[in-house]
């Protein structure tokens, strides 16, 4: 009888400082055969898993449920229960399987559940019994004891910006195949690092983080290596387990796992001062954009919908208006009432409309502008990796030389497709504002003459001391001074 491997996906990254809750309806859910159909041929982790299993040819793939949402605020108890219960039910309904590959983000948080992935993984384990379960994770995952203890192998991303989703899926599936073939006995070493990291040194191509990741890859490529990574947590998921972790999993070689985890952990800890963001004030940023040639890209990491912020910041827009910025600028904002007003007025008309502050009103005050309604859209499009997005309804509003993509719902403003799908070509602008701390570099470095990380307020500010942490591991760098070293004898 053909052996069966179950696959499932659960992805959302939570910023607990964003007051706008993530709701069940924010998740794009596909089940059964629809899951296979919608992921095949994409550059996602699920596709990486599917392709490895297809190539191997010995197993029947059992698709269960995939649920993915844009990043956002905490998920309410009722919505989280519904989501996780549906996932466990879909897995129970699949019947007995020989193994499972689960693609999680790892940094979800509920209204009162600090570890949704740990909870659902525990439930899945009790349904599936003692079969191998491999879990892939974003390197921004929050690592809990439950995750480490319940999965056979955790396989994290290696690249930041993330460009190895597909390869991570492949690495996870290869680990599962080895377990099913009986050729691996995973043993894991974990080093917990009381540090939250930001800034350019996280770029794997050029930064110190990349050096640590290449050490992890050396371990993975060694005779007994299975999976290794530095998992830094999403700094805005303020839950008790939030910190950085090194995880090294080997094939029954605990000595190597422990030695390498310690070495990589020390490497990160000793360089912690480097992992802080260098931000530029809004005034100075606008001056730079006014005098630069080519397309300047502002990173509004503080209102990064990619990190879980609300997406309704108008801080940079206000700065541009106040400075009478006269070059062509492109930015995005989430504002459902403004979209409604635009739809009521119709295209090629003019309205006076408050913009911003509808979702995170304690941080942002509405800015009233008179704008032209340039276009109206249904908000359906696909991101660069092929996955579908829904912005709710959307419109393009024009204020002088500033074009504003206004959406009813938050979407990732990381790539160029979000703009192109609404008739806006980033390369045609002197200034483009993205809502992403670093992921945007993949899509903008080729057109950017200058990239400026702008210091504005927001629930995902890289200025971590500006945020009201209450739950994460303390003391922790850089929130606290003189944090004791996690290493003995240092
Ligand atoms: Zn991430």
For residue 292, the CA-to-ligand 1 centroid distance in Å is 31
Determine the distance separating the centroid of ligand 1 and the alpha carbon of 448, expressed in angstroms.
Answer: 22
pLDDT score, position 385: 87
SS3 content of the chain, % helix, strand, coil (to 5): 30, 25, 40
Residues 116-170 have pLDDT tens digits of 999 999 999 999 999 999 999 999 999 999 999 999 999 999 999 999 999 999 9
Say how many Å lie between the CA of residue 388 and the centre of ligand 1.
18
User: What CA–CA distances, in Å, run from 173 to 8, 223, 386, 395, 434?
Assistant: 12, 18, 21, 41, 33
367 alpha carbon – ligand 1 mean position (Å): 31
> What is the Å distance from ligand 1's center to 226 Cα?
21
Measured in angstroms, how far is the CA atom of residue 347 from the centroid of ligand 1? 37
- Cα(397) to ligand 1 centroid in Å equals 31
Mean pLDDT, the chain, as a whole number? Answer: 97
CA of 307 to the centre of ligand 1 (A): 8
E strand or H helix at 298: strand 295-299
> What per-residue confidence (pLDDT) applies to 490?
54
Question: How many Å apart are CA 96 and CA 86, to the nearest integer?
Answer: 17
Q: Write out the two tokens for 313.
A: 């910041």
What does each C-alpha distance from 93 to 6, 31, 116, 159 come to in angstroms?
A: 11, 12, 21, 35
Instruction: State the Cα–Cα distance between residues 312 and 367, nearest whole angstrom.
Output: 11
Interval between CA 138 and ligand 1 midpoint (Å) = 5
Rounded to the nearest angstrom, the distance between the alpha carbon of 105 and the centre of ligand 1 is 8
Distance from C-alpha of 310 to C-alpha of 459, rounded to nearest angstrom:
8
| CA of residue 364 to ligand 1 center, whole Å | 25
Q: What is the predicted pLDDT for the residue at 470?
A: 97
Q: How far is the CA of 140 from the centre of ligand 1 (A)?
A: 5
SS3 244: strand
Residue 317, CB-side half-sphere exposure with 13 Å CA sphere: 32
| Spatial distance between the Cα atoms of 306 and 189, rounded to a whole number of angstroms | 30
pLDDT (0 to 100) of residue 123: 98
**389: β partners:** 381
In the reported structure, the alpha carbon of residue 198 is separated from the centroid of ligand 1 by a whole-number distance in angstroms of: 12
Distance 104 CA to ligand 1 centre (A): 11
- List, for residues 331-377, the tens digit of each pLDDT value: 999 999 999 999 999 999 999 999 999 999 999 999 999 999 999 99
CA of 342 to the centre of ligand 1 (A): 34
Distance linking the first and last C-alpha atoms of the chain: 56
Q: What's the CA gap between 272 and 201, in Å, rounded?
A: 10
Cα(396) to centroid(ligand 1), Å: 29
| Helices assigned H by DSSP within 222-300 | 254-270, 282-291
Cβ partners under 8 Å of residue 95, min gap 6: none
Q: How far is CA 417 from the centre of its chain?
A: 17
Spacing, Cα 489 to ligand 1 middle (Å) = 33
In the reported structure, the alpha carbon of residue 462 is separated from the centroid of ligand 1 by a whole-number distance in angstroms of 15
> What's the gap in Å between 139 CA and the centre of ligand 1?
6
Q: How many residues does the chain have?
A: 490
Ligand 1 centroid to Cα of residue 180, in Å, is 29
Rounded to the nearest angstrom, the distance between the alpha carbon of 210 and the centre of ligand 1 is 15
Q: State how far Cα 113 lies from the chain centre.
A: 19
Ligand 1: centre distance to CA 162 (Å): 7
Q: In what order do the strands lie in the sheet with 367-377?
A: 280-281, 448-455, 295-299, 431-434, 329-334, 402-407, 394-399, 367-377, 350-355
Round to whole Å and give the CA distance between 300 and 462.
Answer: 10
Measured in angstroms, how far is the CA atom of residue 315 from the centroid of ligand 1? Answer: 24
State in Å: Cα 437 to ligand 1 middle: 10
Q: How far is the CA of 68 from the centre of ligand 1 (A)?
A: 13
In angstroms and rounded to an integer, the radius of gyration of the C-alpha atoms of the chain is 22
User: How far, in Å, is the centroid of ligand 1 from the Cα of 119?
Assistant: 20
Q: In this predicted structure, what is the pLDDT of residue 488?
A: 78
Report DSSP state, residue 60: E
Ligand 1 geometric centre to CA of 157 (Å) = 8
Residue 112 CA to ligand 1 center (angstroms) comes to 23
Q: What are the mean pLDDT values of the chain's consecutive 10-residue runs (490 residues total)?
A: 95 97 96 96 96 98 97 97 98 98 98 98 98 98 98 98 97 98 98 97 97 98 98 98 98 98 98 96 98 98 96 98 98 98 98 98 98 98 92 97 98 98 98 96 97 97 96 96 87
Between the CA of 483 and the centroid of ligand 1 the distance, in Å, is 25
Cβ-based neighbour number of residue 265 at 10 Å? 23
Q: What is the pLDDT of residue 386?
A: 86
- What are the structural domain ranges in the chain? 3-274, 280-458
Instruction: Identify the CA nearest to 132 among candidates 182, 84, 81.
Output: 182
What local confidence, expressed as pLDDT, does residue 481 receive?
96
Relative orientation angle of helices 45-56 and 32-39, to the nearest 10 degrees: 100
**CATH fold label, 3-274:** Rossmann fold (3.40.50)
Distance (angstroms) between ligand 1 centre and the Cα of 363 equals 24
| The pLDDT value given to residue 383 | 95
Burial 209-221 (b: 16+ CB within 10 A, else e): bbebbebbeebbe
93 C-alpha to ligand 1 centroid (Å): 31
The structure's pTM equals: 0.95
* Euclidean distance between CA atoms 444 and 427, whole angstroms: 9
Q: From the CA of 159, how far away is ligand 1's center (Å)?
A: 9
Cα–ligand 1 centroid distance for 420 (angstroms): 23
């Amino acid at each position: 009888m053909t052996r069966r491997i179950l696959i499932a996906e659960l992805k959302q990254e939570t910023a607990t400082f964003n007051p706008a809750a993530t709701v069940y309806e924010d998740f794009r859910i596909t089940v059964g055969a629809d899951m296979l159909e919608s992921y095949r041929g994409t550059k996602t982790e699920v596709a990486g898993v599917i392709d490895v299993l297809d190539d191997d040819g010995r197993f029947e793939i059992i698709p269960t449920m995939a649920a993915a949402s844009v990043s956002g605020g905490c998920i309410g108890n009722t919505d989280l229960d519904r989501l996780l219960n549906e996932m466990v039910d879909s897995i129970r309904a699949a019947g007995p399987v020989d193994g499972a590959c689960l693609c999680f983000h790892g940094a979800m948080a509920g209204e009162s559940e600090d570890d949704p992935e740990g909870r659902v993984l525990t439930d899945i384990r009790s349904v599936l019994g003692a079969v191998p379960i491999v879990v892939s994770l974003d390197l921004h995952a929050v690592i809990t004891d439950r995750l480490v203890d319940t999965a056979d192998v955790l396989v994290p991303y290696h690249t930041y910006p993330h460009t190895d989703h597909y390869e991570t899926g492949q690495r996870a599936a290869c680990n599962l195949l080895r377990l099913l073939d009986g050729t691996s006995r995973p043993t894991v070493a974990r080093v917990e690092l009381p540090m939250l990291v930001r800034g350019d040194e996280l770029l794997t191509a050029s930064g110190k983080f990349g050096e640590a990741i290449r050490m992890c890859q050396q371990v993975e490529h060694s005779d007994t290596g299975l999976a290794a990574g530095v998992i830094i947590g999403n700094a805005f998921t303020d839950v008790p387990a939030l910190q950085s972790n090194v995880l090294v999993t080997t094939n029954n070689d605990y000595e190597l796992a422990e030695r390498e985890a310690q070495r990589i952990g020390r490497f990160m800890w000793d360089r912690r001062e480097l992992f802080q963001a260098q931000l530029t004030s809004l005034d100075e940023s606008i001056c730079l954009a006014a005098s630069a040639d080519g397309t300047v890209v502002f990173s509004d990491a503080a209102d990064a919908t990619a990190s879980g912020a609300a997406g309704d910041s108008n801080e940079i827009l206000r700065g541009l208006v106040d400075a009478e910025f006269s070059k062509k600028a492109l930015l995005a904002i989430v504002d459902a009432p403004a979209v409604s007003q635009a739809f009521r007025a119709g295209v090629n008309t003019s309205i006076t409309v408050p913009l911003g502050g509808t979702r995170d009103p304690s941080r942002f005050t509405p800015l009233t502008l008179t704008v032209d309604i340039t276009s109206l859209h249904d908000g359906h499009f696909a991101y660069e990796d092929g996955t579908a997005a829904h912005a709710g309804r959307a419109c393009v509003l024009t204020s002088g030389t500033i074009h504003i993509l206004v959406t009813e719902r938050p979407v990732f403003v990381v790539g160029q497709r979000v703009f192109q799908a609404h008739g806006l070509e980033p390369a045609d602008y002197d200034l483009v504002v993205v809502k992403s701390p670093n992921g945007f570099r993949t899509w903008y470095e080729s057109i950017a003459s200058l990239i400026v990380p702008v210091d504005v307020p927001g629930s995902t500010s890289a200025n971590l001391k500006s945020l009201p942490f209450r739950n994460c591991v303390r003391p922790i760098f850089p929130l606290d001074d003189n944090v004791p070293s996690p290493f003995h004898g240092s």
